[in-house]
Amino acid sequence: MTGRGYSIFDTGIGRCGIAWGPAGIIGVQLPEVREIDTRRRLFQFYPDARELRPPSNVQVAIEGITALLRGAACDFAEVALDMTGIPAFTQRVYAYARAIPRGETRTYAEIASALRASGAVYSVTQAIGRNPFMIIVPCHRVLEAGNYADKISPHGGAISKRRLLSIEGTSPTSSKTLFDVLMPVAPPRAHN
């Protein structure tokens, strides 16, 4: 591969984008509401990439992403990611997340503990929140405490973690209600 390229492709949830460079994939963009918005987002992150036909190793990733978004199992172990400029700790978080099996989830705290950085829950949260390799690094399998499916990275487009998990046949153990959100802020009043 020479230079940076990108491609837009169809999936079961809409038109996704993928960008690559000489060392591997540099980013995956899940669909925005409109394709033009997906293209804009790719341009925002990778302004020097040109729309090209994907090379064979990127095509393998596209086929895997498409399969996963249809609900099929796929293996991204051989997909090369270009992590140039990504801090070492974040790379460790992504490597751990890539090893989370389909149908399972982990919390940010569990990942921090597994990486022997139990005081780094916030750093794990930040790393997952900035994940440019959507689906290949399955950040949707990483949940906040209580297994709540919180927001996804900017590369997630209009798709939620909850939707991605349901496509995989997994669901968080619970979901936040308005009561769950407000309870820590406004405890119940005593009745007289």
Q: In this structure, which amino acid lies at residue 182? A: L
Structure tokens at 129: 């929140």
Nearest to 80 by CA among 29, 137, 132, 23: 23
Q: What angle do CA 57, 32, 16 make, to 5 degrees?
A: 15
Beta bridge partners of 5: 20, 50
| Strand, helix or coil for residue 118 | helix
Distances, alpha carbon 101 to alpha carbons 23, 73, 141, 148, 166, in Å:
26, 10, 9, 18, 15
Each residue of 153-189: b (16+ CB within 10 Å) or e? bebbbebebbbbbebbebebeeeeeeeeeeeeeeeee
| Residues that are catalytic | 139
Beta bridge partners of 143: 107
The answer to whether the beta carbons of residues 8 and 27 sit under 8 Å apart is no
